[in-house]
Amino acid sequence: MKLIFKITLILFILSFPGTGYAQLDRTEKKIVKSVDINNEESLELLKKAIDINSGTMNFDGVIKVGGLFKTELDKLGFKTRLTSGEPFGRAGHLIATREGKPGMKFLLIGHLDTVFELDSPFQSATMVNDSIINGPGVADMKGGDVIIILAMKALKEAGVLDKMSVEIVMTGDEEKSGSPLDLSKADLINAAKKADVALGFENGDGNPETIVVSRRGSTEWGLEVKGNAAHSSQIFTKNVGVGAIYETSRILNEFYTQLSTQENLTFNPGFILGGTSVEVKADQTGGTAFGKTNVVAQKATVRGDIRAISLDQLEIAKKIMTAIVSENSPGTTAELTFDEGGYPPLALTDGNNKLLELYNELSLDLGFGKVYAVNPRNAGAADISFTTGHVDMAVDGLGLSGADDHTINETGNLNMVSTQAKRAAILMYRLHLQSKK
C-alpha cells in the first residue's frame, strides 16, 4: 500500500506544470530537452556577439555580428544573405529563410545594431554575478537574436523546423534608421506581406511576465519661431512684440496643457535653441545659438518626438498642435513640421490578443507562470511596428529580460535565455499544429 501511495503521489505531482512538463506533448518535450542541451553553447555565442562593437554607424561591426549569426543559421539549413545598406546609408540586414510545407508562415524579427558606437566607453561583457551579465546590447537586443537561433535549433532537433516556413529578418539599423525609410525597411515590410505571424524578440519592458501586443508609433517634429530683433527695452511694444523665445515657451506650454492628459500620448521637446541667431547641426542633434541679454530674441528652434498608440490619436494630436502654433503672439510667426517617416504604431488586434492567450497558456504548461500584456508606455518603438496591416497576428518582447538598456549599466539575465527560447519554439510549434487543422 505504501508503494502504491508513493507512485500515486509522484504522478499527482508530475501532473502540475513545471514539475515534469506533464502538459507538453512528445515533440514539445523534445524541444525543451534540445534547449537545455544547447543552452550553454548559446550563452557563449551571446558573449561573443556582445564583444563585437555593432553601433549602428559602425558598419564593419554590424556586418561582423550579422556574419556571426549567419553562420549559425546556415548550420540549421536556412538560406541566408547579408544585404547592402548603401541605398539608405547603413550597414544592411541579415535575411534568413526556410520554405516548409503549406501552412502558417512565420516572420521573426531581431536587429544587429546597438546604440553604443566605437567611441563609447562601453565595449565588452562582464559578469555581474553568476547569472546577470553587463554588456552593450545584451538585452537590446543581441540576447533576443541568440534566443531566435536557440529556438530554431530546438525546432530543428525536434523534427519540426523542416515542416515550417520561416523568415528571419535581423535589421542593421533599428537603433538609428537609415534614410529614406521606405528603402531601410523594405526587406522587413516585404517579409511581413508574406507572413501570417510576426514575432519580435526585443526585450519589451524587460519583464519576462509580459509581452508586447501593441506599441506606440514614433515620429519627429520641428518648430521654427521668428520674432522681431530689437533692444530689450522695447519688448512687448506694438512694433516689437514678445520675441521668439517667449512665443516658443507659450507654444510648448500649450502643448503640455492641452495634450498631456491623453492616455499613451507623449510629445517631448528634445532640444531648444534661441537667440539673435541659431545654427542647427545637419544631423538635427543640436547646434549653437547666439544672443545678448539686452536683445529681443529673433529666432528659436525646437526638435522633438511624438508617440501615439494609434494613427487616429496621432492625427488628432497633430491637428491640436498645429492650431496652437497658428495662434501667434504679437510680432511673431511660427511653423510646425512633422517628419514623413517615423515608426508607425503596432495596432492592437484580435490576432495579437490571441497570440497572448496562446503564449500565456504554454508558459503555464512549461511552469514559467502567467504572461500579460505590457503597458504600451513601457515599450518604445520597434521594427515590428512595420508589420502593422500586413500580418494577422503580431507580438513583441519575446527577447531577453534585462534592465537599463541604452545605458552603460545595461544587463541581461542569462537564466532567461533558455526560458524564452522554449516559449518561442513551443509557440511556433502550436501555431503550426493549429494551421494544419
From first to last of the 437 residues of the chain, give the pLDDT tens digit. Answer: 443 444 344 334 344 444 467 789 999 999 999 999 999 999 999 999 999 999 999 999 999 999 999 999 999 999 999 999 999 999 999 999 999 888 899 999 999 999 999 999 999 999 999 999 999 999 999 999 999 999 999 999 999 999 999 999 999 999 999 999 999 999 999 999 999 999 999 998 888 899 999 999 889 999 999 999 999 999 999 999 999 999 999 999 999 999 999 999 999 999 999 999 999 998 778 899 999 999 999 999 999 999 999 889 999 999 999 999 999 999 999 999 998 778 889 988 999 999 999 999 999 999 999 999 998 888 777 899 999 999 999 999 999 999 999 999 999 999 999 999 999 999 999 999 988 76
- Identify whether 14 is part of a domain: no
104 lies in a domain? yes
Statement to judge: residues 317 and 350 lie in one domain: no
CB 62 within 8 A of CB 112: yes
* Ramachandran class of 298: left when φ > 0, alpha when ψ lies in -120 to 50, beta otherwise: alpha
Say if residue 150 is in the same domain as residue 250.
Answer: no
**CATH number (domain holding residue 288):** 3.30.70.360
Determine contact, residues 75/69, Cβ cutoff 8 Å. Answer: no
CATH number at residue 114: 3.40.630.10
Question: What is residue 206's predicted lDDT score, i.e. its pLDDT?
Answer: 84
User: Does 157 lie in the same domain as 71?
Assistant: yes
Q: Tell whether 157 and 240 lie within a shared domain.
A: no
What value does the CA radius of gyration of the chain take, rounded to a whole number of Å? 25
pTM comes to 0.84
3-state DSSP assignment of residue 308? strand
Q: Are residues 45 and 180 in the same domain?
A: yes
Predicted pLDDT at 13: 39
Which pLDDT does position 8 carry in this prediction? 41
* Residue 8 lies inside a defined structural domain of this protein: no
On whether both 324 and 405 belong to a single domain, the answer is: no
C-alpha pair distances (Å), 55 with each of 64, 137, 139, 210, 283: 11, 9, 14, 27, 17
Q: Looking at residue 286, what is its pLDDT?
A: 85
Q: What is the pLDDT of residue 16?
A: 43
Question: Which of 314, 338, 362 is the endpoint of a domain?
Answer: 338
Residue 154 near residue 35 (C-beta atoms within 8 A):
yes
Do residues 178 and 64 share a domain?
yes
Q: Which domain holds residue 150?
A: 20-215+346-436
pLDDT at residue 21 in the model = 75
User: Of the candidates 320, 338, 356, which is a domain's last residue?
Assistant: 338
Q: How many CB atoms lie within 10 A of CB 1?
A: 5
Number of helices (H), then strands (E), belonging to the chain: the values are: 10, 18
DSSP 383: G
Q: Chain centroid to CA 182: how far? A: 18
State residue 33 phi and psi, 5-degree precision.
-65, -45
Residues 63 and 167 in one domain: yes
Residue for grid cell 504572461: 371
Asked whether residue 251 falls in the same domain as residue 350, the answer is: no
**Cell of residue 336, nine digits:** 510646425
Q: How many domains does the chain have?
A: 2
3-state secondary structure of 239: coil
The residues, any chain, with a CB within 8 Å of residue 289's CB and separated by 6 or more, are 273, 274, 275, 277, 278, 279
The verdict on 352 and 301 lying in the same domain is no
Residue 190 burial (C-beta neighbours within 10 Å; 0-12, 13-18, 19+)? middle
What integer pLDDT is reported at residue 285 of this predicted model?
Answer: 81
Report d(CA 411, CA 133) in Å as an integer.
Answer: 5
What pLDDT is stored for residue 437 in this prediction?
67
Residue 430: which residues within 8 A CB-CB, separation 6 or more?
Answer: 358, 362
CB of 112 closer than 8 Å to CB of 54: yes
